[in-house]
Structure 1
């Protein structure tokens, strides 16, 4: 019989696991998701961050998919925090789409997931409700508001997922731009005069500048539908 072990005291890791909850787990995931490691949100790394056995996560989430959807929704809710509708529909939509992008690019690991999924939870519902309210304010009816929302939603999801991928690529993204420019030094300028003349300008456009420019084009197109 081992008399050296304290009576009635669970191992430290078990005690930490007992103190876990969904909120604690999600906060740990947010800390990990702010980095750029490709496997930052593996159950092994989440468990290590929490100081608990990875299997303890299954007491609070049915699986990794449920955890990641909850995490994506938490990020959306963070982006909605403090949102106040603007003086007009266009200001509101612009603000919402910039908020969504900014918060997800702070957590690029989550952004790559959110670009392909719907969370079906509170944060997502708040975003949808705010977007539809702005579009109804603009004068769109029920059906067209839904269509315009889908266009805006897919726009921001796809672009943010793409941008998050660039963040995760790090220096490789800049190297690709450099290779793009240098490759045109050898092209037949008589056959591709416009491309050769424009490649440096195109490569110099930063992703954030590009997103904001495309967003203004989208908003302009939406506004044009209102005056048809």
Structure 2
């Protein structure tokens, strides 16, 4: 059975591991993130993590309840990296767009980790800080609370959904990913106008666009819609 999780100060290892480092939550999470990048989800286990850290695998249970708890911490780390250096400018729409792009990019830097964590809710510090920032932007812009939650829900779910989708593509074996990318040219661009007139008409555009993420476009569409709703609701209240 895993040992109970205790406070950081109580569980910190005083003596260096075989690799000459002192264990901490941050070190374990960063090492796990590196292992995911190098070996994929199948390569992440308590035993392998212990070997990489030069520590008895059972020691890791003093920091995390198990691999799932560690996975949530990895997701929170990615959110923290997205938030690092971000600040508000007074333009809620621009600020929200920048934050969305940062979150999406942070996940795509670690596609194997993104596939594991984008659909999870960690309840950890960076995730909570991001949620507070998003809701603060919307409420500060004058969105009523119910509308702020509606836009927040659409924004965060869309951002993480695109992160998971785009990361899953990046995480494919190189051969499979190349085959998917070439399908637009190899198949769609060769369809006959007689049988597929709409596809044939836009085939060059499909070839040029479809291997790029649609997230920036979808994000702009969401924010434009939210801004219009805000203006319309504001006008209705002032009438």
Q: TM-score, normalised by structure 1?
A: 0.84
Find the counterpart in structure 2 of residue 175 from structure 1. Answer: 179
Change (3 A) 1:60 1:179: same
Distance 1:179 1:36 in 2: 27
Find the counterpart in structure 2 of residue 212 from structure 1. Answer: 216
With 156-165 and 102-111 compared, the bigger mean Cα shift is at 102-111
User: Does the CA contact (< 8 Å) of 1:180 and 1:203 recur in 2?
Assistant: yes
User: Does the CA contact (< 8 Å) of 2:115 and 2:168 recur in 1?
Assistant: yes
Find the counterpart in structure 2 of residue 128 from structure 1. Answer: 131
Gaps (5+ residues) in structure 2? Answer: 1-14, 233-239
Find the counterpart in structure 1 of residue 142 from structure 2. Answer: 139
Distance 2:190 2:84 in 1: 50
* 1:60-71 → structure 2 map (5 Å cutoff): 60-71=63-74
Deviations 1:96-147 (A, max 9, x none): 1011111111121221122211010110011001111111122211111011
Change (3 A) 1:222 1:206: same
| Per-residue deviation, 1:71 | 1.5
Find the counterpart in structure 2 of residue 84 from structure 1. Answer: 87
Change (3 A) 1:47 1:197: farther
With 33-42 and 127-136 compared, the bigger mean Cα shift is at 33-42
Distance 1:80 1:51 in 2: 31
Find the counterpart in structure 2 of residue 164 from structure 1. Answer: 167
| Per-residue deviation, 1:188 | 4.3
With 105-114 and 183-192 compared, the bigger mean Cα shift is at 183-192
2:22 equivalent to 1:24: no
Q: What secondary structure does 1:191 align onto?
A: coil
With 44-53 and 214-223 compared, the bigger mean Cα shift is at 44-53
Aligned length: 217
| Per-residue deviation, 1:38 | 4.3
Change (3 A) 1:99 1:126: same
Distance 2:57 2:181 in 1: 40
Find the counterpart in structure 1 of residue 3 from structure 2. Answer: none
Deviations 1:7-64 (A, max 9, x none): xxxxx99766994232221121232234463424333432232123433322221111
Gaps (5+ residues) in structure 1? Answer: 1-11
2:193 equivalent to 1:189: yes
| Per-residue deviation, 1:84 | 0.8
